[in-house]
A and B are shown apart, each in its own frame.
Chain A
Amino acid sequence: MSNNILNWKNNRDMFPEADEDGKPIVDLESQKYVKVWQGPNHPGVTGNMSLELTISGDEVMEAKTHVGYLHRGFEKLFERRRYIQCFPTCIRMCVPEPDINEYNLARGTEVLGGIEVPEMANWIRMLVLEMARLQVLLRMVPGQAGTMGLGLAGTWGLYYRELILDRFEELTGGRIYHMFILPGGVRGLLPDGFKDRLEENLVKVEAFMKDVDRLIYTNAVFKKRTKGIGVIPADWVDEYGIMGPVARAAGFERDVRKDYPYLYYDQLDFGYNIAHNSDVFDRFIVRRHDVDTTVDLIRQILNKMPKKGDIKAETPNVLHWKIPKGETIIRCESSRGEYLFYMVADGSIYPRRINLRGPSYTHAVAVLEKLLINANISDVSAIMVSLATCPPEIER
């Protein structure tokens, strides 16, 4: 990491000098620098994470990501739980979009355990995943401007998110933690009239997104605050493993749903949402287009999915379901990018290891620390939110 700072292409004159290891020498006594902690409790920080910023005037000289405030240790908890018992736990690794965890865990268990999931269950899984993406984007797209003091759209967005949560409540019995996709299938069929009610909501969402366009994306202040800020050079994308909307904003066609289709995504018609400037604005605009894509995908899924079918495959008794020895990698596209589970089974009823590799692991540590250098302190939150950092992915 520190080497990267040394290799920084820009003029380093304004940065503190570095020692032999490349660690900046910040002489706080010189009164030239001030250390500021942003977080762990800060409105601009997404979750329990903090940034240790060394600033000179308004500008960030050095940034350091600190995690360790969650105290949960999900991956350790999995090792002492049966596969079925992991599924109410794994969702807690991402509160806004829990379903990706459920899907990865279920799919991994099925792959290792050799279970074939019924077609209907897979369509419902896809619907749930897209609904989850929509509700997280509905909070994020209008809400991102909140980091720049434009909180209004974010407040409106919450209502439209609630509409999708209502549908979740109807379908899964839960609003935030749906606990719906479990090893073997899903926990229910669509209720009567669900499709129509969801369609009504989608129409409302589409109308609302026009308001968001007017309020945020056609907004001089927003544009001024986001354009040309936090630019991620294209050569970073592969170097750092940047993914999802952040990579797409840099002009890369990266989407697990298209690159490595899972479920029935190969039967759906959608494209990559791409931008080229790779600044905060472009990342936000890619997400804005993602909303449209997601709404469209939900409609396609609703039209294509069968009316009836089995929701769960026959599995061994979940209380002593021994998964044969093996390992697998399962990935899906979350709203933040590629979301990956590495699962190892040792032939017992408990998983040997379930390892999560989410996009925030690079976005919020390696990329953010580097991106913040030379940034204005008032842009720190905007840059961070544009990377969609999620601390539980780092500290799981």
Chain B
Amino acid sequence: MSIKDVIVPFSAWRKVFDKPVTIKDPINERPGADRYRGFHKNDLETCIGCGTCEVICENEAIDLVPVEGIETKDGDSGLRPRVDYGRCCWCGLCVDICTTGSLSLTNAYTWVEEDPEKYRFTPGVDEKPWDNEEKGWKKPEPNYEFYNLKRVTMEHLHPEERSDSFIEMVKGYSKEQAEKEADRCVECGICTATCPAHMGIPEYIKAIRNNDLEEGLRILYDTNPLPEICGRICTHKCEAVCTIGHRGEALSIRWLKRYIADQNPSEKYKTILNSEFIEKNGKSIAIIGSGPSGLSAAHYLALMGYEVTIYEKLPHAGGMMRYGIPEYRLPYDQIDKDIDYILSLGVKILYNTTIGKDITLEELGKKYNAVFAGTGLHLGRSTRIEGSDHKNVYQSIELLRKITLGEEIDLAEKMIVIGGGNVAMDITRSIARLQMKKYGKAGVIATSLETEDKMPADREEVVEAREEGAIVDPGWAPQHIEIVDDKIKGLHVAQCHSLFDEEGNFNPQCNLDNLKFFEGTMVVESIGQGMDLSYLSDDIKHELEIDKRGRIKVNEDFQSGLPWLFIGGDIIQGPDVIHGIANGHTAAKGIDTFLFKESK
């Protein structure tokens, strides 16, 4: 210790002359930093109310609440996050995990309010002074994700391997692949709401993550008795709305479903699903058609204890799933796996039995307590253009059925398919395969009214069709088929520039200056299917309400004007497997309710 130690501290007085460092008006002079984690902001348009922010919030500060003016619809829960600033710690995890990127934190950090209730607010709905603030915490740079945005690639047969064979082209996931894909799910349940059958999608994906595939199968069968089939050819509306799909690639929900079904051996189904013993209730139901809706209804009715008999016109069960969908997409043994389980529940099936010919609907009505009709859309529609009545103009549905039945179909080296839906792609690719087998080269052109971006067919169908050698040239309206000496020379088309008029009615408009000619000696029409209601006698038709477009009116349980007759599937909802399954399930519950009430 020295005299220095006494004097030196007085140098502190020098600070008297320093400029003060205090900011006089911090609110205006000192905004938060560009990345500051301040108050919440939410873009209501982008937000879909998936609730992932609610799940990750460790303080339980976020609740999903209904908001006025936002409707619940497919892909949008109609809810929006409400933040409680009594609990929030501004960690920003909600922003980092936000699946759509709608949520952000602004750099505003001062807010005074008298009413404590106001600190619980819904960003974007309740107006706040910082709503237009651009700066603040946003999801960090690329490569910063809390889940994987990329799909686990599904392995397909190489185009060369599959172009001349009907072997199933999708290989299916391995355990590792399925678990990795299942890991991407955020369990928002937007898919469940959108799925017509309301399958427990997040639940069965969770079962995959937990490697509990038996539980997975039970969850599948709760709502869908055809998982092998749906796992392959479902139109996967769930994937279209998958919340991960907003910034990345949607989960492969369909392939995951297939994985569960594939991994469970059919001989264990009864044990896993606890259906070894079903108490019969002594009532019997007839089902017309063994398509998705009929099988679905049969499954749930059989589980409830009904004696179920299915009447099938064709020699095998499955309806459009077997006779409409080519084998390379849905192998017949997989259809059989699902159907055999349903049959093992005691469901009887009468093949080659046509209603109206072998037995009438009235007779069924008398013989059984109730009847469910899911006869589907098995009639092809024609374009009715000039030349479409030629003998070498075919309907895709007929050809597909013939291919399934193993019958020889007429082939030519150059063929034209009209239609842009999945059925059109099915027939195009089937023809390409047959041509490859017969001529060693595919020569089929598929054309549709819709342009490529609006084609109803799945994108992968179009890509794969092209890989297999077919030409897909969409955006053309067929004008007439050129016939010389009673032989088809080709199809004249004009560019189509709009499909619907201002009122939203189907009214395609084409530009006759831009014409094209597709060369081909056979034409296949695949522009939609119609229903064959010839099995309904006039007496029954009289009892049913049929609207102008020929659709039968049914109530929410698919009960028609005749109380004992339930109608569902494609003839009510349009062509779609999962809708059919959902209809069948609802109708089964409806039939049960109806018979229960009647017996009282």
A148 to chain B, nearest CB (A): 13
Q: Is the CB of B35 within 8 A of A319?
A: no
Interface residue A128 (Cβ < 8 Å from any Cβ of B):
no
- Given A89-B58, A159-B21, A173-B137, CB of A317 within 8 Å of CB of B36: no
A225 to chain B, nearest CB (A): 12
Interface residue B134 (Cβ < 8 Å from any Cβ of A):
no
CA A200 to CA B321, docked complex, whole Å: 72
Task: Name the B residues within 8 Å of A219 (CB-CB).
Answer: 5, 8-9
Q: Is the CB of B92 within 8 A of A179?
A: yes
Interface positions of B from 176 to 190, Cβ below 8 Å from A: 183-187
Q: Is the CB of A169 within 8 A of B36?
A: yes
Q: Is the CB of A316 within 8 A of B183?
A: yes
Q: Is the CB of B52 within 8 A of A169?
A: no
Binary contact readout A83-120 vs B (1 if CB under 8 angstroms, 0 otherwise): 01111110000000000000000000000000000000
A381 to chain B, nearest CB (A): 20
Q: Is the CB of B144 within 8 A of A214?
A: no
Task: Name the B residues within 8 Å of A314 (CB-CB).
Answer: 145, 148
Q: Is the CB of B34 within 8 A of A215?
A: no
Q: Is the CB of A220 within 8 A of B5?
A: yes
Chain A, residue nearest B36 (CB): A173
Q: Is the CB of B1 within 8 A of A224?
A: yes
Binary contact readout A189-228 vs B (1 if CB under 8 angstroms, 0 otherwise): 1010000000000000000000100111011110110000
Interface positions of B from 3 to 57, Cβ below 8 Å from A: 4-6, 8-9, 11-12, 15, 21, 32-37, 52, 55-56
Task: Name the B residues within 8 Å of A310 (CB-CB).
Answer: 143
Q: Is the CB of A169 within 8 A of B32?
A: yes
B319 to chain A, nearest CB (A): 38
Interface residue B140 (Cβ < 8 Å from any Cβ of A):
yes
Task: Name the B residues within 8 Å of A84 (CB-CB).
Answer: 56, 93, 146
Interface residue A81 (Cβ < 8 Å from any Cβ of B):
yes
Q: Is the CB of B209 within 8 A of A320?
A: yes
- Partner of B34 from the list A159, A170, A211, A316 (CB cut-off 8 Å) is A170
Task: Name the A residues within 8 Å of B89 (CB-CB).
Answer: 88, 177
Chain A, residue nearest B9 (CB): A219
Interface residue B503 (Cβ < 8 Å from any Cβ of A):
no
- Partner of B11 from the list A166, A179, A214 (CB cut-off 8 Å) is A214
Q: Is the CB of B9 within 8 A of A218?
A: yes
Interface residue A152 (Cβ < 8 Å from any Cβ of B):
yes
CA A316 to CA B59, docked complex, whole Å: 22
Interface size (B, Cβ < 8 Å)?
45
Task: Name the B residues within 8 Å of A173 (CB-CB).
Answer: 33, 35-37, 92, 105, 137
CA A183 to CA B281, docked complex, whole Å: 57
Q: Is the CB of A218 within 8 A of B56?
A: no
Interface residue A288 (Cβ < 8 Å from any Cβ of B):
no
- Given A152-B12, A173-B37, A220-B1, CB of A311 within 8 Å of CB of B143: yes
CA A211 to CA B18, docked complex, whole Å: 13
Q: Is the CB of B140 within 8 A of A319?
A: no
Interface positions of B from 54 to 93, Cβ below 8 Å from A: 55-56, 58-59, 89-93
- Partner of B140 from the list A82, A216, A223, A311 (CB cut-off 8 Å) is A311
Task: Name the A residues within 8 Å of B58 (CB-CB).
Answer: 81-82, 85-86, 88-89
CA A152 to CA B13, docked complex, whole Å: 11
Summarize B's interface: helix, strand, loop or mixed: loop
Q: Is the CB of A214 within 8 A of B12?
A: yes
CA A89 to CA B60, docked complex, whole Å: 13
Task: Name the A residues within 8 Å of B55 (CB-CB).
Answer: 319
Interface size (A, Cβ < 8 Å)?
46
Q: Is the CB of A312 within 8 A of B143?
A: yes
Task: Name the A residues within 8 Å of B33 (CB-CB).
Answer: 166, 169-170, 173
**B5, B137, B185, most chain A CB atoms within 10 A:** B5
Chain B, residue nearest A308 (CB): B141
Binary contact readout A298-314 vs B (1 if CB under 8 angstroms, 0 otherwise): 00000000000011101
Interface residue A171 (Cβ < 8 Å from any Cβ of B):
yes
Q: Is the CB of A311 within 8 A of B183?
A: no
Chain B, residue nearest A80 (CB): B58
Summarize A's interface: helix, strand, loop or mixed: helix
- Given A81-B58, A316-B183, CB of A214 within 8 Å of CB of B143: no
Interface residue A188 (Cβ < 8 Å from any Cβ of B):
yes
**B8, B33, B55, most chain A CB atoms within 10 A:** B33
Binary contact readout A326-356 vs B (1 if CB under 8 angstroms, 0 otherwise): 0000000000000000000000000000000
CA A171 to CA B137, docked complex, whole Å: 11
CA A221 to CA B137, docked complex, whole Å: 48
- Given A85-B56, A314-B148, CB of A191 within 8 Å of CB of B141: no
- Partner of B146 from the list A86, A166, A216, A318 (CB cut-off 8 Å) is A318
B21 to chain A, nearest CB (A): 5
Q: Is the CB of B6 within 8 A of A174?
A: no
Task: Name the A residues within 8 Å of B90 (CB-CB).
Answer: 174
**B21, B91, B185, most chain A CB atoms within 10 A:** B91
Task: Name the B residues within 8 Å of A152 (CB-CB).
Answer: 12
Task: Name the B residues within 8 Å of A317 (CB-CB).
Answer: 146-148, 183-186
Q: Is the CB of B1 within 8 A of A211?
A: no
B135 to chain A, nearest CB (A): 11
Interface residue B434 (Cβ < 8 Å from any Cβ of A):
no
Chain A, residue nearest B32 (CB): A169
Task: Name the A residues within 8 Å of B59 (CB-CB).
Answer: 88
Interface residue B108 (Cβ < 8 Å from any Cβ of A):
no
CA A211 to CA B90, docked complex, whole Å: 37
Interface residue A15 (Cβ < 8 Å from any Cβ of B):
no
Task: Name the B residues within 8 Å of A220 (CB-CB).
Answer: 1, 5-6, 9
CA A221 to CA B32, docked complex, whole Å: 41
- Given A156-B15, A314-B148, CB of A319 within 8 Å of CB of B186: yes
A354 to chain B, nearest CB (A): 14
Task: Name the A residues within 8 Å of B141 (CB-CB).
Answer: 188-189, 311
A121 to chain B, nearest CB (A): 10
Interface residue B96 (Cβ < 8 Å from any Cβ of A):
yes
Binary contact readout A154-178 vs B (1 if CB under 8 angstroms, 0 otherwise): 0010010000001001111110010
Chain B, residue nearest A81 (CB): B58
Chain B, residue nearest A316 (CB): B183
Interface residue B491 (Cβ < 8 Å from any Cβ of A):
no
CA A320 to CA B141, docked complex, whole Å: 23
A315 to chain B, nearest CB (A): 8
- Partner of B12 from the list A170, A215, A223 (CB cut-off 8 Å) is A215
CA A315 to CA B5, docked complex, whole Å: 57
Task: Name the B residues within 8 Å of A315 (CB-CB).
Answer: 146
Interface residue A35 (Cβ < 8 Å from any Cβ of B):
no
Interface residue A23 (Cβ < 8 Å from any Cβ of B):
no
Interface residue B494 (Cβ < 8 Å from any Cβ of A):
no
Interface residue B488 (Cβ < 8 Å from any Cβ of A):
no
Known: A84-B146, A319-B55. 12 other contacts (CB 8 A): A81-B58, A84-B93, A88-B93, A169-B32, A170-B33, A173-B33, A219-B8, A220-B6, A316-B183, A317-B146, A317-B183, A319-B97
> Please, could you name 24 A-B residue pairs with CB atoms under 8 Å apart, sorted by A?
A82-B56, A82-B58, A84-B93, A84-B146, A85-B56, A89-B58, A156-B15, A170-B34, A170-B35, A172-B35, A173-B92, A173-B137, A187-B144, A188-B35, A189-B141, A191-B34, A211-B11, A211-B15, A214-B12, A215-B11, A218-B9, A220-B1, A310-B143, A317-B148
- What 9 A-B pairs come out closest when comparing CB atoms? A85-B58, A88-B91, A317-B147, A220-B5, A173-B37, A218-B8, A173-B35, A169-B33, A318-B146
